[in-house]
Structure 1
């Protein structure tokens, strides 16, 4: 604004100079021109030289001033166009030509205010491309930009009159759509059509790419106070609904509900609690017995992580493992618990083994084997007493990396078992390709044996596979004497489950092993005279 006043002041000064020059020209010319005419007719004397010079100077001044004035007007027009272009760049996304985050929020507030006056409503549609990073990584950022431009054009073509499209950043878009309060189903139809149109293949670099969308919807009808920060509230609600759609399977849309926000708040508190818990040592190992199903002899323990939360109490892994994986804390959590388990197990009878599960996220770490060997050395725990359990689903992610990890661990004496066998569709070829030491039948198959399910043939088949490949088999989820007896008739198994005892903390395990003279110090002082069997009374004490 100051520049404009400065230019306006300059314009007035220049026009004043031009006007003054014209007045002087008229005055001088009024006296000089008649003398020139009379002199030309031979009736008088020539005008004095200074007078002619003054007239010529005034003419030059007028011409110069007028030319400069025109140049100044041209500069002002260029400046105006540059300002408009800068304002346009500041308010729009240069790649897609849509509005940007800076401009869409004030516009949304205006549209909400106008809708309230007309007894209408405004829907805010948050759109996020599913797995767009993978498309960028595999095909390059130029292909990703082409996809964003095409998706923006397709979305824009679906919008009704009066709606606006914005790119909020990255692969996030937003639509602001006015609609009649009595017809919210029109927004559902719009969200469905956007999802459908986006899934159509896009021709890029001689090939075709397709992408799914997750959409969150919010409406001004749900606002407590339509004024104020209406745009920010609508964006916040639609963002929560969009992440809920991703969580529920992607390539879909969801309307915002207050329950989503409460769930998100609980999730945020859970994430913070996990991070604090790792730092405070709240995650501890519990141990589940593993026994010889035929003889009942205790052979070892499987380590299971537990969270001793000061607010939630004792929390099981199915509640926090997936969250820890998503926020990138699973490696730190797992390594802390494994380290403690190795120190605990170092005090047990050397004939007892320790089994630990590792996350698929840890399998992607090429340094995991070295980290594990360092933990073994620090705990002074023999590698041949440790068994690492890898879930069957990991084989389909990166079998080359799994093979490298398994081979590295086996070279150091660590055993590796395939966990949850039967749920991930592992092939015989994959079992042959990877040097596993054991397979574990998933607990869902074992549980059916006790419910009258017809899983005996399946369990028998898995046992035959193990025998044919010289792989011993562990049965998880043994919860009754009936299941145990059926397993005894199907083959040789190592077993675990609530029938033999629930998972226990380290102090209880140590106390029980001490009572059975099965700690390392006891074994060194007095050799064992026989095997220890878990009778019915032992099971009741163990917590079955």
Structure 2
């Protein structure tokens, strides 16, 4: 297209249309005036009483007919152009207001339509509920199955939302995996809104079929309420978003109404997330080390690395305060590898008999490149793979066993040991123990702590120990807090134990002192000094 082409002048088009219309009207008037005379002369000629029509009048008549035909054609062209222009405007308006993937409204259109809905509902003394629905672990779907699968999941989610909500609901996709629905309802019918929310969450638990795969999804749903005209769409969306994140903190796959106390919790959460982002490059996250011992002999055999946040503002922060937020915000992978790197650098100074055990977040096992990232750390730090043990919680095996198998097999091939952590609390089964090359099983601390007062807990511990023996997998017991429990675990045949009875998690300096007291620190390498000048000949003779 010629870039110098001038834009179409609609006023000029209208002026030409007016001129064309005037010409057509004049032609019709002339046709009425001349047509009668010409036709009369033609008739007279046919019956033999005239000399034929006047040539000038005949030419004028023909010209009038041509002008009328031209005018009619122009009229049809104008009608077609108006229809096409109207359809194009409607199409452009649809595209501007609609999410192309799901057919729902987009954010811009939702703000306008939602504000109108609130105003009309309040005028009718009705309330409006705004649902904000976020698909759980949607990023993982894209990472593992590809963006085509992600699009399919979004389309199926939109179909299920449409099938459950009433026809008068206003539906929108805010972007990514967030959906919004607005429903007017009578103030006394709040239970109906609860039922709709529960049905939505339940429907999205079902897996989505794509390319012979069944992709499991879920949803967290926050609800905000508008019952007066002062409520704005921006406020409703923010409140529903806060309630939705509260659902995620409570365990996902549920719905929550917004309550005022949630706003403070979100502010705290945002402060922690920002603190994590700012604290990582400043080195505020450090490894602590919890001793692991041979229960029968009391010999120190290793340490489990635990993460701490040494905040200059709040002091030492335990992992349960920030790890869930790091996982939710997608920061856990970078944070974990950062601290593991520091732990490897520290552990290089330990005796080769001491094992370093590191916990891996379930989120990291959704990363197809995780084994390569960990191998790169081993190479860069020079830490021996044979002295590293990776602990994997059994709940992380449930979502994508083929990917986990690929990761752990790759790590195993590098010489890294693998431990199944928190055994007995998740979804694992004997098939997982057979399918994956684990070297060790760790009994969850909840069973160990309950052994003294619960025969059932003790029976579970005995069963796990016997299972380990049959599979040639040593057992480590977590949460050993007293001598009686340690003695009982020794009697049952547990190989390793950790807990307060053997020592609490300590800083790198305290851990180094503990190892030094037991003679388990490597001697620092002596610097290589060249022989004195003139001694080369002596060295050659004595070599």
TM bracket (short chain)? 0.7 to 0.9
1:398-419 superposed Cα distances (whole Å, 9 cap, x missing partner):
5555555555545554433332
The answer for the alignment partner of 1:120 in structure 2 is 126
* Range moving further from structure 2, 505-514 or 451-460: 451-460
Question: Is the CA contact (8 Å cut-off) linking 1:241 and 1:255 kept in structure 2?
Answer: yes
Match of 1:256 in 2: 258
What is aligned with 1:64?
70
Question: Structure 2 CA distance, aligned partners of 1:130 and 1:399?
Answer: 18
Distance of 1:409 and 1:237 partners within structure 2: 44
- Measure, in 1, the Cα distance between the counterparts of 2:42 and 2:487: 137
Structure 2 partner of 1:221:
227
CA contact 1:11–1:69 (8 Å) conserved in 2: no
Quote how far apart the aligned CAs of 1:284 are. 1.1
Residue segments in structure 2 that go unaligned for 5+ positions in a row: 1-7, 527-543
Q: TM-score, normalised by structure 2?
A: 0.77
Say which of 3, 15, 21 aligns to 2:21.
Answer: 15
**Conservation of the 8 A alpha-carbon contact between 1:148 and 1:171:** no
Name the CA shift for 1:337/1:262 in 2 (closer, same or farther; >3 Å): same
Describe the superposition over 1:318-363 as per-residue Cα deviations: whole angstroms up to 9, x where unpaired. 3333333343333332222222222222223344332222333444
Q: Normalization by structure 1: what TM-score?
A: 0.77
Give ranges in structure 1 of 5+ residues lacking alignment. 525-544
- Corresponding residue for 2:331? 329
Q: 2:164 matched to 1:155?
A: yes
What is the DSSP-based 3-state SS (H/G/I as helix, E as strand, rest coil) of the residue aligned with 1:272? helix
CA RMSD of aligned residues (A): 4.5
Q: Deviation string for 1:451-480 (max 9, x for gaps)?
A: 576644443443344444444332221222
Query: Corresponding residue for 2:424?
Result: 422
Map 1:54-133 onto structure 2 (within 5 A): 54-92=60-98, 99-127=105-133
Distance 1:192 1:425 in 2: 25
What are the superposed Cα offsets for residues 67-113 of structure 1, whole Å, 9 maximum, x if unpaired?
A: 43343334334433443344345445667665444433212212222
Is this contact kept in 2: 1:199–1:212, CA < 8 A?
yes
Q: Is the 8 A contact 1:96 1:152 kept in 2?
A: no
- Distance in 1, matches of 2:277 and 2:449, equals 35
Is the CA contact (8 Å cut-off) linking 2:397 and 2:427 kept in structure 1? no
Cα deviation, residue 5, structure 1: 5.5
- Please tell me whether the aligned partners of residues 479 and 497 of structure 1 are also in contact (alpha carbons under 8 angstroms): yes
SS in 2 for 1:321: helix
Alignment of 1:416-455 (within 5 A): 416-424=418-426, 426-428=428-430, 430-431=432-433, 434-449=436-451, 455=457
In the other structure, the counterpart of 2:508 is: 506
Residue 485 (structure 2) pairs with residue 483 (structure 1): yes
Question: Helix, strand or coil: the match of 2:89?
Answer: helix
User: Mean alpha-carbon deviation: is it higher for 24-33 or for 104-113?
Assistant: 24-33
Change in CA separation of 1:517 and 1:427 when aligned onto 2, cut-off 3 Å: same
CA shift for structure 1 position 504 = 1.1
> In 2 relative to 1, CA 96–471 (structure 1 residues): closer, same or farther, beyond 3 Å?
closer
Q: Structure 1 residues 269, 40: CA separation in 2 closer, same or farther (over 3 Å shift)?
A: same
Query: By how many angstroms is 1:257 displaced?
Result: 2.1
Structure 1 residues 168 and 371, CA gap change in structure 2 (3 angstroms) = closer
> How far did 1:291 drift?
2.5
